[in-house]
Amino acid sequence: MKKVLVLLLTLVLAVGVALPAAPVYARQAVAVGEPLRPVGTVYAVVVGINAYPGHPLDFPVADAEAFQLALTDKYSVPSENIKLLRDDEATKDKILAAITGLGSTSSDDVIIYFSGHGTTGRRSLNGIVAYDGVIWSGELRATIRGITANRIVVILDCCYGNGFANDLNLPNMLAMMSSAGLSWEPSLFGHGIFTYWFLVKGIIQGLADNPAENRYATPDGKIPFEEAFDYAFQNMTHQKPKVVDNVALDFWPDLGP
């Protein structure tokens, strides 16, 4: 279970099977079935933190490692273009420095993935919890605005991630956040719930591209991130993810032949 930093809860989670009638966001009509491959290079910062002092989690490192593997194996992103930060490597300064170093030209695409604790504070502030401190939503926004890139993707699998929506509502931004409240990491899944459905089942196992599994699928052998989000949304019953989609076409970060 991904928890607020100062809160410990125990829950026996029963995974439901009922599907909502439709996503709570409108797909851009121009994007459906039109995955757009990068025109430049793809760079990524991938963060997973289990070993929080005093408040450890179970699966964020597994989440981050699976995401890194998907980028290299499913989308042919060179491993040297991916900065993976785990546990005590993922300090606040190192995360912000890694994000600042993303991208180099206006044709590059950049991806930021975080799995770990999330928190909320006064005046409805939300933050992701680094190993040694909090990166508030305004800090993350300011850091991202300093990146030179074509498209920017932010994926947050943490508590209160949906509260980042306003600060991440930027041009050419695709932001996916796991929950308005608590985010869970059931031992049955071995991952956070959002990462399990979005990444493990949707992208790695390819179910997001199967119309029998995803009513919004375009079965073309390509799985852009939006298609995987649609699949995850339909399968998540105990928490509801949110998306900010300001990219013109579906984000398909494939650098393969």
Q: Nearest-5° angle of CA 43, CA 24, CA 45?
A: 15
Chain centre distance of CA 17: 23
Share of the chain above pLDDT 70, in %: 86
Q: Work out the average pLDDT over 144-161.
A: 95
Q: What is the pTM of this model?
A: 0.88
Residue 256 confidence class, pLDDT cut points 50, 70, 90:
confident
**C-alpha span between 188 and 182 (Å, rounded):** 18
Judged against a pLDDT cut of 70, whether residue 53 lies above it is answered with yes
Query: Is residue 21 situated within a structural domain?
Result: no
Query: Is residue 17 situated within a structural domain?
Result: no
Q: Work out the average pLDDT over 101-120.
A: 94
**C-alpha span between 214 and 231 (Å, rounded):** 5
Tokens of 7: 């809160």
Specify the CATH number for the domain of residue 217: 3.40.50.1460
Residue 124 confidence class, pLDDT cut points 50, 70, 90:
low
Query: Is residue 28 situated within a structural domain?
Result: no
Query: Is residue 2 situated within a structural domain?
Result: no
Identity of the highest mean pLDDT range in 23-27, 73-77, 244-248: 73-77
Judged against a pLDDT cut of 90, whether residue 224 lies above it is answered with yes
Q: What is the pLDDT of residue 2?
A: 57
Residue 115 confidence class, pLDDT cut points 50, 70, 90:
very high
Query: Is residue 16 situated within a structural domain?
Result: no
Judged against a pLDDT cut of 50, whether residue 151 lies above it is answered with yes
Among residues 64, 78, 84, 77, the alpha carbon closest in space to that of 37 is found at 77
Q: What is the pLDDT of residue 123?
A: 72
Domain boundaries, position 219: 35-251
Rg over alpha carbons for the chain, rounded to the nearest Å, is 17
Query: Is residue 119 situated within a structural domain?
Result: yes
**C-alpha span between 155 and 190 (Å, rounded):** 18
Residue 18 confidence class, pLDDT cut points 50, 70, 90:
very low
Question: How many structural domains are present in the chain?
Answer: 1
Per-residue pLDDT tens for 55-110? 999 999 999 999 999 999 999 999 999 999 999 999 999 999 999 999 888 999 99
Judged against a pLDDT cut of 70, whether residue 255 lies above it is answered with yes
Query: Is residue 209 situated within a structural domain?
Result: yes
Residue 248 confidence class, pLDDT cut points 50, 70, 90:
confident
Judged against a pLDDT cut of 90, whether residue 155 lies above it is answered with yes
Share of the chain above pLDDT 90, in %: 76
Chain centre distance of CA 218: 21
Query: Is residue 4 situated within a structural domain?
Result: no
